[in-house]
Structure formats: C-alpha cells, structure tokens
Amino acid sequence: MAQFEETGPRTPVVEPTRVDKVHPRAKMGKSIRVIITLIVTFIMIIPVLVMIMTAFKSRADIVTPPPKVFFNPTLEGFLYLFTDRSVLSPSNLESERANAGDLSYWQKLALSVGQKINGPSDYVGRLKNSVIIAGTSTILSVVLGLFTAYAFSRFKIVGKDDLLFFILSTRMLPGVVVTIPLFLLYKQLGWNDTYIGMIILYTVFNLSFSVWLLMGFLDEIPVEYEEAALVDGYTRMQAFFKIVLPQAVTGIAATTVFCLIFAWNEYAFALMLTSEKARTAPPSIATMLGSGGLEWSAIAAGSLGFLIPVAIVTFVLRDYLLRGVTFGAVRK
C-alpha cells in the first residue's frame, strides 16, 4: 500500500528537498502541526502576557471580575514598585493638589491615588544588588570555566575523568540540601548578607556547568589551529587569546547566558543568606506580598523589570545560543 497517492504537488519542486516533505498530504500535516504549535505557544505565553498587562493596570482594574483585556494603561505599578510613599490625609491632599502645577509626572501620579512620594523603595537597591552579584559571578564563572575547560581539553591531566566527574557532582544534589550547612558556614565566615558571599556562591554553582559546556566547545576546535600559531611564531598563551578565544565566542556566549539566568533567578540561597545589604531582587519581589497588602501591579511590574535584562541579553546572544545548544550535534 502506497503511503501517498500517485499525484504529486501541483507545482514543480524547485528546491532541494525530500519527497515526503513536499507531497500535498505532507503539507497538510505540516499546517496542522504549525497550528498546534502556535496554540501551545500562545498558552505558554499567557502568564507572561497577564504579567505584562497587570503591570500596567490600575489597582481597580486588577481586581475587577472578569479580568479586563482592554484597559487604560497606567504606571501605578511602577510607582508602587520604585518608590516609598505615605498616604496623605484629606486636608493635606487638598493643599498638595493646589500647587500640583510644578510637580513631576511621578509625584502627580502618586497624588492621583492620594499618596506622596518620600523616596525610592528598597527594590531599586535590590535590583542593583542583583546586577552586581549576578554580573560578577557570571563573569567569574565563565572566565575561570574557560581556563579550566581549556586545560581539561588540551592537556594530559592525571585523573582527568575523575576530576570532571567530581566537578559535575556538585550539581547532583538539590541546592536546598546545602542551604543549612552553607548558612552556618557563612555565619562563621561573616559572609552572610555580603556581596562576596553571594558572588562566590553563585560562581561555584555555575562553574561546574561552565567547565562542562565550554569543554565541549573547546574540544571541537581542532588543535591544528594552535599548532599552526605555534610554528607561526606565537607562544601558547598568545595562540589561546588570538586563535582559540575568537573561535570559542559561540560557546562563551551560550555559557554566559545560562550562567546569568541561573544567578539572576536564584531564589532559595538569596532568601536564606541575605537580608538587607546584599539582598537580590527575587526574594524581595516575593516579600512584597507581605508588606502593605497585595500590590499586584507592583509585583507584576517588579517581575517585568526583573525579566527585561535577561531577556535583552538572551535576545542579543540568541544566534550564538541556538548554535550553542545544537553545537556538536552534527559533525561538519
């Protein structure tokens, strides 16, 4: 029994392809698959869409049942997120409104919900902490990982396989398991709630991943390039920087993104090991639930603002990332 009818596509096939890809029936199957994919994609993106919408809704719009899809966007959520405010008494409100003329946009916005801006909120500082901690630890884990991976890839190392397994084994237990010992350790070291503590923690956590991923990339770069550079008159170090590094860019970019996403999103350790000075954004978004009622728009705005940096980095590096994930799957 033939799988296809005898008639082929109505128009001549003018691109290089297989029979089963251009047959009319295959095309129908393809459109069905595309539609299903689109629907699933839409379903998966709904939470993000809801989050973005919530971030721009007013307090009243958020709680209206059924949820509004069309609404007047407002930056109230961001006001709640980024500022510390106090509620004005009706008499104060009157006097403030009287000379509202020379107030900034944000102060007017606060006034419209009967509040006065006292200063920036904790969140700004915490976002800054997140940037410092996640950024530094990512750079450290990629740089250290690159050198380690190069050594593993190019040199004979005694007990290489065991060492690599040992490095990987640090990722084999869930992070939560080590939070208590870490907490006690950090308390002894005085590293609780410090940048250095969090940077070292995230670096160590990412390092195993970065070594393994980068080693895969470096293994793919033929040694001949370095040998060519050596006979061309360069030292090993120069060969590494001039020849190996530019070719490892894909791997470095992919590793950077993955390390950054981990360090940026990490919640459990940050909650346990930080309180004020080094507290990062994820636990502070969560604690907003507790203080001052449920400011859904602030939470949504916080999550959105938190998402944007990683989204930008991922978007910029997306080509490398795609190549990075599929790297080595197909031999050239």
Q: Which is nearer to other proteins, 248 or 304 (CB)?
A: 248
Q: Which is nearer to other proteins, 196 or 228 (CB)?
A: 228
Q: Which is nearer to other proteins, 122 or 220 (CB)?
A: 220
Taking the complex as a whole, the smallest distance from the CB of residue 17 to other proteins amounts, in Å, to: 24
Question: 326-330, long-range: CB within 8 Å, 24+ apart, which pairs?
Answer: 327/216, 327/217, 327/220, 327/250, 327/251, 327/254, 328/216, 328/217, 328/220
Taking the complex as a whole, the smallest distance from the CB of residue 236 to other proteins amounts, in Å, to: 9
Taking the complex as a whole, the smallest distance from the CB of residue 315 to other proteins amounts, in Å, to: 23
Cis peptide leading into 282, omega within 30 of 0? no
Taking the complex as a whole, the smallest distance from the CB of residue 110 to other proteins amounts, in Å, to: 53
Which tokens is 32 given? 């069905």
Report how far residue 50's alpha carbon sits from residue 68's, in angstroms, rounded to the nearest whole number: 10
Query: What residues line the site for other proteins (CB under 8 A)?
Result: 222, 224-225, 227-235, 238, 243, 246-247
Measured from the Cβ of residue 87, the count of other Cβ atoms closer than 10 Å reads 10
Taking the complex as a whole, the smallest distance from the CB of residue 230 to other proteins amounts, in Å, to: 4
Q: Which is nearer to other proteins, 243 or 299 (CB)?
A: 243
DSSP state string for 195-230: HHHHHHHHHHHHHHHHHHHHHHHHHHS-HHHHHHHH
Report how far residue 188's alpha carbon sits from residue 193's, in angstroms, rounded to the nearest whole number: 12
Q: Which is nearer to other proteins, 48 or 245 (CB)?
A: 245
